[in-house]
Amino acid sequence: MLLYNTQTRKKEEFQPITPGKVGIYACGPTVYNYFHIGNARAFIFFDVVRRYFTYRGYEVTYVQNITDIDDKIIAQANEENISFTLVAEKYTRAFLDDTSALGIKPPTYQPKATEVMDDIIAFIAELEKKGYAYEVEGDVYFATENLPSYGCLSGKKTEEQLAGARVMENYNKRHPADFTLWKKGKPGEPVWESPWGKGRPGWHTECVVMSQKYLGETFDIHCGGIDLIFPHHENELAQAMAYSGKPLANYWMHNGFLNVDGEKMSKSLKNFFTARDILAEYDAESIRFFFLSKHYRSPIDFSRELMEESQRAVANLYSSLAEINYPENAENRRPTVCGTAQELQNLEQEFILAMDDDFNTAKAISLLFELNRKVKNTSATMADRISAAIKMVELGSVLGFFQNLEAKLKQKMPDLSKDLICLILSYRKEARDKKDWALADKIRNDLAQLGIEIKDTPEGVKWTLKEKK
């Protein structure tokens, strides 16, 4: 399996720290508002990374944090005139609801920054002891000049870097690139007791502590959006190197930017959409299809035209399953012929090769549609069509499609073919009511020739798709 490592800027063969296991840390939300569709791209893609490792037989520990104390949360609390805890609780619930609606699996662990405050304070104290942190009037900073490797993730030289914090430059710093580990509390702000006085932690320190608490000093994969490479991930890595002399993660993965109709998403341009906004217009699998139809490292352009194309593509997959009365017929399928079985095995191997090549989900989706064509092939036996459908659902599930399949088929597929069968059966019922047994039998026999078997039961007529005679 090859992964593109942001730190080395090349694809590398994935070698887990512990054979058969993989530890992944994905940067989660800062819960001050609803997350936008650019965030949704990261959350959906790394959900697929987690699913694929599981499919390949790994035991996955997937950690995603929630940043529940930050400048933006405090600003939102002031704007809404409520406490920061209420803001964090409100938007944490919204995040969990929206990621669930997008079909994203809950992480193995989902720590909050406020839950690890003692660990954060101890971590900063150790950096100070080692000479990598200094305190000025209650604020504590990381001394970037004391770490020769600083900048190795982003490729930025220390003298070229801007302040690595979410606040304006502070002239108490020894170097402009030094970033805040601990912020002195201001009147009206939430604070915690510390050796440097009352205050709260910096964003970068929160994440490094939470990741190491659940995954160890060095873990396999750290991931997030490309906008997090600098300063956030750079500063996480710097603290880990200073603390233990070891890298925080062996592989760094970052997804590309999202634009809207060719322009950067911005509230001022009125093209800013939250995931919640888009979920109100499109189903979750269409959103997932849109993001996965392009390679994760490439920029992607959001438009309603592309979303509608994605919606039609997903509907096509479900339509194929409905045509063969899936999953009912899959439960009693007949064996496929050897040639078809080999074709399906070959397609699965192509799927694995695509995903093993730095998660080429666009290629993987194209293979789903090759399987879909086999499902739609009416000249094939029903057994072969059902086998192709089973494989399509199996591989599609790796990408997060076909969740709650039976319910969705019932909900989404009142398609024409089903309606026509029901219409024909209503004509047969009229014939039986009139005791026109010849016409009723002819309808039964004609449907059987099309592979549709009907049974008259006390509860009414039942029909299933069978292999054509």
Residue 71's CATH number: 3.40.50.620
Q: Are 144 and 212 within one domain?
A: yes
Per-residue pLDDT of the chain (469 residues; tens, 9 = 90+): 999 999 999 999 999 999 999 999 999 999 999 999 999 999 999 999 999 999 999 999 999 999 999 999 999 999 999 999 999 999 999 999 999 999 999 999 999 999 999 999 999 999 999 999 999 999 999 999 999 999 999 998 666 655 444 445 567 899 999 999 999 999 999 999 999 999 999 999 999 999 999 999 999 999 999 999 999 999 999 999 999 999 999 999 999 999 998 888 877 777 889 999 999 999 999 999 999 999 999 999 999 999 999 999 999 999 999 989 898 877 766 666 677 889 999 999 999 999 999 999 999 999 999 999 999 999 999 889 999 999 999 999 999 999 989 888 876 544 456 667 878 888 898 898 899 999 989 998 888 887 788 888 776 787 876 644 4
How many CB atoms sit inside 10 A of residue 264's CB? 12
What is the full DSSP assignment across 335-384? Answer: PPPHHHHHHHHHHHHHHHHHHHBT--HHHHHHHHHHHHHHHH-TTS-HHH
Task: Among 397, 412, 427, identify where a domain stops.
Answer: 412
How many CB atoms sit inside 10 A of residue 277's CB? 12
Asked if the structure places residue 402 within a domain, the reply is yes
Q: Are 364 and 318 within one domain?
A: yes
- CB-based contact 395:402 (threshold 8 Å): no
The count of structural domains within the chain is 3
Q: Are 380 and 421 within one domain?
A: no
Q: Are 375 and 425 within one domain?
A: no
Q: Are 194 and 320 within one domain?
A: no
Asked if the structure places residue 273 within a domain, the reply is no
Classify strands 219-225 and 249-255 as parallel, antiparallel or unpaired.
Answer: parallel
And the tokens for 358?
Answer: 């730095």
Q: Are 378 and 432 within one domain?
A: no
Q: Are 201 and 303 within one domain?
A: no
- CB-based contact 108:22 (threshold 8 Å): no
Say how far apart CA 212 and CA 220 lie, in whole Å.
11
Asked if the structure places residue 86 within a domain, the reply is yes
* 3-state DSSP assignment of residue 260: strand
How many CB atoms sit inside 10 A of residue 437's CB? 10
* 3-state DSSP assignment of residue 25: strand
Q: Are 302 and 256 within one domain?
A: no
How many CB atoms sit inside 10 A of residue 17's CB? 14
Say how far apart CA 375 and CA 380 lie, in whole Å.
9
pTM, whole model, 2 decimals? 0.85
Residue 222 among known ligand-binding residues: no
What separation, in Å, do the N-terminal and C-terminal C-alpha atoms of the chain show? 45
Residue 138, domain extent: 2-264
Residue 468 among known ligand-binding residues: no
How many CB atoms sit inside 10 A of residue 426's CB? 10
Residue 207 among known ligand-binding residues: yes
And the tokens for 318?
Answer: 């479900």
Task: Among 264, 296, 331, identify where a domain stops.
Answer: 264
